[in-house]
Amino acid sequence: MNILLSLIILLFCGVCDDVRQDVAYITDSGHVEFTSRVPLHTFTGSSDHLHGLIDFDENLVDFYLDLSTLKSGIGRRDRDIYRTLNVDDYPFAEFTGTLSTSFDQNSSETQQVEVQGEFTIHGVTRNVTIQGTMQKQGEELYLTAEWILNLEDYDIEPPGILFYRVNEEQELRIEATLNSAPKEEI
């Protein structure tokens, strides 16, 4: 009986595989931007090396960024940022989670979405919920999201400039166009 049940389950899994889409959406050139504030001064850093994967079948949303690709326009400040984030030991900022709202893949309208999962930076992982938008554009998926990252939550000491400290709250924004690709090629 148990063998029969197992076979049914296996068969069910196989059927599920058959009805799954064989594509996922992927990028290696997403845009990330952060805004830091100190009294009387604001600076922005960015990277165009955001890697991302969205697989609707597996309900998987997976993004990561090599933090050493962040540039703020001043090389010396970039190196300060890398030291603050301890990039040598923790080179990536990562998010792995799931879509917690539905997304209509047959619509080309911009849709509000929400993802839930684990965000890791500086070796510290927190559960987060992030709101954003997604829009299907032919074979592409356009995604935007914004949220606030609190440095203290991730044991990151805000760097100081003389008597000032960088605000603990960093405004993060991502923007990416993900292309459909056969899963076996990912």
Partner 1 sequence: MNVCKFANFGFTVFFLHLVLLVESMNAQLPRERADADPPVDRLFWASYSIGISTVESVSARNLNSTVKHTFGLVDGGIDHFFGLDDGANTRLGLEYGFHDRFSMGIGRMTFNKLVDMHAKYNILRQTVSGSTPVELAVKTSVGINTFPGTGRDFSERLNYFVSVMIARKMGNFSLQATPMYAHFNRVSGNNEKQLFGLGIVAGLALNDRFSLGAEYLPVIGDRNPGTYDTAAVTLNIDTGGHIFQLFFTSSQWHNESFIMANNRDRFWEGEFRFGFNIHRVFGF
Residue of 11, 15, 124, 161 that binds partner 1 (CB under 8 A) = 161
Task: Say how many Å lie between the first and final Cα of the chain, rounded.
Answer: 39
- Name the minimum Å distance from CB 108 to partner 1: 26
Q: How far apart are CA 6 and CA 106, in angstroms?
A: 35
CB atoms within 10 A of CB 57: 14
Contacts with partner 1 by CB under 8 A: the residue count is 43
Residue of 179, 171, 157, 6 lying closest to 83 (CA atoms) = 157
DSSP letter string, 89-119: T--EEEEEEEE-S---TT--S-EEEEEEEEE
> Per rule CB under 8 A, is residue 176 in the interface with partner 1?
no
Cα 157 versus chain centre, distance: 22
Beta bridge partners of residue 124, listed in sequence order? 121
User: Is 163 in a helix, a strand, or coil?
Assistant: coil
- Name the minimum Å distance from CB 186 to partner 1: 8
- Name the minimum Å distance from CB 55 to partner 1: 6
- Name the minimum Å distance from CB 149 to partner 1: 19
Residue of 91, 99, 140, 169 that binds partner 1 (CB under 8 A) = 91
> Per rule CB under 8 A, is residue 83 in the interface with partner 1?
yes
Instruction: Give the residue with the Cβ less far from partner 1, 39 or 108.
Output: 39
CB atoms within 10 A of CB 41: 10
**Binding positions for partner 1, 117-156, rule CB under 8 A:** none
Site of interaction with partner 1 (CB under 8 A): 1-2, 5-6, 9-10, 13, 24, 26, 49, 51-53, 55, 58, 60, 62, 64, 66, 68-69, 72-80, 82-83, 88, 91-92, 94, 96, 159-162, 183, 186
